Chain A
Amino acid sequence: MLYAIRSLPFLWQGLFVTLEVSALVVFFSLIAGVILGVGIVYGPWWLYWPIRIYSDFLRGIPLLVLIFFLYYALPFVSINLTNIAAVVLALAAFETAHIIEVVRGAIQSIPRGQNEAAKTIGLTFGKRLLYVIAPQAVRRFLPPWINAVVDTVKGSALVSLVGIVDLTLAIQQVIGRTYIPMPLYILGAVMYFVINYSLSSASRALEARFAYIRE
C-alpha cells in the first residue's frame, strides 16, 4: 500500500501524458474538423466527395486498427513516426471525422432563411459565416463536440498499446510491481472520471450561456 502511495508521482506523470495527448488531439481535430466540415457543407463537389469518403471511412474502422496501422504498417513504406506522433495523428484523424459530422449537423440545423437574409443585406460568404451562421451553429455544436472530447480522453488510453506511458499504462506498471490492482484501478477510473465529468459540466454551463432561443 505504501508503495502504491509512493508511486503517485509516477501516476501523475502518466496523467500528464494522457492530458497532453488529449489536448493535442482536441486542438488539431477541432481545426481540421471545422475547416473540413465547412467544406463539406459549402464546398463544390470536388471538395465534398473526398471529405465525405474520408469521414465515412475513418468512422468505419476501429481506432485501434488505425493506431496500429500508423505505427506498425507505415514503416514498411519508409514512413517512420515516433509512437507519440503516430497516436496523436491516429486519434486526431479519427476525431476529425466525427467533428466534420458535428459541424455539418450544426450548420445544416440552421434554417436556410438565415443565410438568405445575410446574403440580402450584402454580407460576403466569410461574414455570413462569422456573424450569422457560426454564432447560431455554436450552440448546436457544443454538446456533441464535448462528447467527442470526452471520447478522445477515453480513447487516449489506447496509446498505452504502443508503449506510451499514459495514465493507463502507468497504472498497469505500478500494479505489476505492487500486485494490488483494485485500489489502483479505482484510482485510475476516478482520475478519468474527474476529467470527463468536469468537461461535461463545463459543457452544460456553456450551453446555458448560448441558450438565447427558448425552444
Chain B
Amino acid sequence: MTEISSTSPVVRIRGLRKSFGTNLVLDGIDLDVRKGEVVVVIGPSGSGKTTLLRCINLLETYDEGSIQVDGVEVGFRDGAGAVRHRRSDRELSRIRADIGMVFQLFNLFPHLTARENVMLGLRKVRGLSAAEAKRTAEQWLVRVGLGDKLDSLPNQLSGGQQQRVGIARAVAMDPKVLLLDEITSALDPELVGEVLTVVQELAHDGMTMIVVTHEMTFARDASTRIVFMDGGRIQVEGSPRQVLSMINHERLKAFLARIELKQH
C-alpha cells in the first residue's frame, strides 16, 4: 500500500498564481504529489500555504496556472487557453467529493451526531443506503478511536475528539487526496498527540496527503517530503532530512528558529 507509483501524480500544480485584491498570495507554485506521498507544507503565516491548500479543492478560486487532481483540472472546464470557463457548482461538487479536507476549527455539523456527520456525505453524495453508510461511518469512527462516541453531538466532544470525527468524515469518502489545514493548531497541547497518531496511521496505510502544519516532529517523522513556502513561493523542497538540515538557508533557518522558540 505504501509504494509510491511513478505514474502521473495525484495532484499536479503548475504556475499557480492567486491574489486577494492587490495582494499576491501565490506567486507561481509548481508542485506534484504522487500516490501515497505525505507532503508537509511549512512556512510563516501569510506565506500562502493555507491558500494553496484551499485552492486545491476550490474553496478559493485561482487566477492563473493549473491544478489537476487525478488528471482533472479543478478550477476550470478547459485547459490553459486565454479565456477559461469556471466550473459549475455541480461539476465542482463532483470533484470535491474525491478531495478530503480537515479544518483547523473542525467545522463539524453541530446539529448532527458524530455518526451522522460521517454519514452525510456517504448518503447524499456517494448515494449509499442508510445501512451501508452507517456501517462505513461506524468503521471509521472506531478506527479513529471513537467507537463509544457514535451518538455524541460535537459539543459533547473534546477538541481532539471533534477533530478525529473531522478526519473520519473526510476519509470515509475514500478521497484520492486528503488536505489537512493546521488541524492541531486549535487544540490544547495534550490533545495534539491523539490526532497526529490517527494521521500517522493513515499515512502508514498509504493515504495521499498534503499537510499544512507547524508540528515539526510530525513533519520529520511522518512526511515523505517537506515543502517550505515563503512570500507565495516554494523556497525549498525535499526529503525531511534534506530540508531540516539546510541550516544555511536564511529564511528557512529563521522560520525554524521561530517555531522552535514557540514550542519550548
Contact = CB atoms under 8 A, between A and B. Distances in A.
B107 A119 contact: no
B107 A114 contact: yes
Nearest to A215: B155
Given A113-B107, A114-B107, A116-B107, A122 B125 contact: yes
A208 to B, nearest CB: 15
Interface residues of A, number: 21
A108 to B, nearest CB: 16
Contacts of B94: 122
A178 interface: no
Given A116-B107, A117-B109, A213-B155, A127 B170 contact: no
A215 B86 CA distance: 40
Contact of B59 (A120, A124, A136): A120
A121 B121 contact: yes
Given A116-B103, A212-B153, A213-B155, A122 B110 contact: no
A118 B155 CA distance: 18
Contacts of A118: 109
Contacts of B100: 120
Contacts of A120: 57, 59, 96, 99-101, 170
Interface in A179-215: 212-214
A123 B121 contact: yes
A125 interface: yes
Interface residues of B, number: 29
Nearest to B102: A120
Given A113-B105, A116-B59, A213-B110, A125 B124 contact: no
B93 interface: yes
Nearest to A119: B96
A75 interface: no
A121 B125 contact: yes
B120 interface: yes
A121 B59 contact: no
B89 interface: yes
Interface in B225-241: none
B97 interface: yes
Interface string A143-167: 0000000000000000000000000
29 contacts: A111-B107, A117-B103, A117-B107, A119-B59, A119-B93, A120-B59, A120-B96, A120-B99, A120-B100, A120-B101, A120-B170, A121-B96, A121-B121, A121-B125, A121-B173, A122-B96, A122-B97, A122-B121, A122-B173, A123-B121, A123-B125, A124-B93, A127-B125, A131-B120, A131-B124, A213-B110, A213-B111, A213-B155, A214-B155
Query: 4 nearest interchain CB pairs?
Result: A122-B97, A121-B121, A117-B107, A113-B107
Given A121-B120, A124-B89, A213-B155, 12 more contacts: A111-B107, A113-B105, A116-B59, A117-B169, A120-B57, A120-B101, A121-B169, A122-B173, A124-B90, A125-B89, A131-B120, A214-B155
